[in-house]
């Protein structure tokens, strides 16, 4: 199947700083990627849809100025958590589709804001 690679897998940052997470499709092109957030013992919640060459579309309640998404190429989407606070600590996961309906997920990024 298709491979989606996400980096970093873990990051600890200080409150008020920004963190960038990368999501790459390794063996296919993805015009659309998806970013999810998962709090402990909870489900995956879609944050935004990343669209290559255009603005991301955000789900209701997700602050677009806080979670900046850039999809500059067909294989790379980045999520930047700006001015991070402890409540932003979570597991962030990206996904993309190959040629069918199956979604392929990145490894996830465990963000801890201290």
CB of 83 to another protein, least distance (A): 26
CB of 99 to another protein, least distance (A): 12
Q: What angle do CA 20, 49, 65 make, to 5 degrees?
A: 50
| CB nearer to another protein: pick between 9 and 15 | 9
- Minimum separation from the CB atom of position 95 to another protein (A): 8
**Short-list 1, 27, 3, 5, CA closest to 78:** 5
DSSP secondary structure code for residue 59 in this structure? P
Residue keyed to tokens 């990627």 = 33
Binding interface with another protein (CB under 8 A): 32, 34, 41-46, 49, 91, 93, 95, 97, 101-103, 105-108, 110
């Amino acid at each position: 199947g298709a491979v989606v690679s996400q980096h970093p897998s873990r990051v600890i940052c200080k409150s008020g700083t920004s963190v960038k997470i990368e999501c790459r499709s390794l063996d296919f092109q993805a015009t659309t990627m998806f970013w999810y957030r998962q709090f402990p013992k909870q489900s995956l919640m879609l944050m935004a849809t990343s669209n290559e060459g255009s603005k991301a579309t955000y789900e209701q309640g997700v602050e677009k100025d806080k979670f900046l998404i850039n999809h500059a190429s067909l294989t790379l989407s980045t999520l930047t958590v700006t001015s991070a606070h402890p409540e932003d600590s979570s597991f962030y996961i990206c996904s993309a589709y190959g040629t069918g309906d199956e979604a392929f997920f990145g490894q996830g990024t465990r963000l801890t804001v201290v």
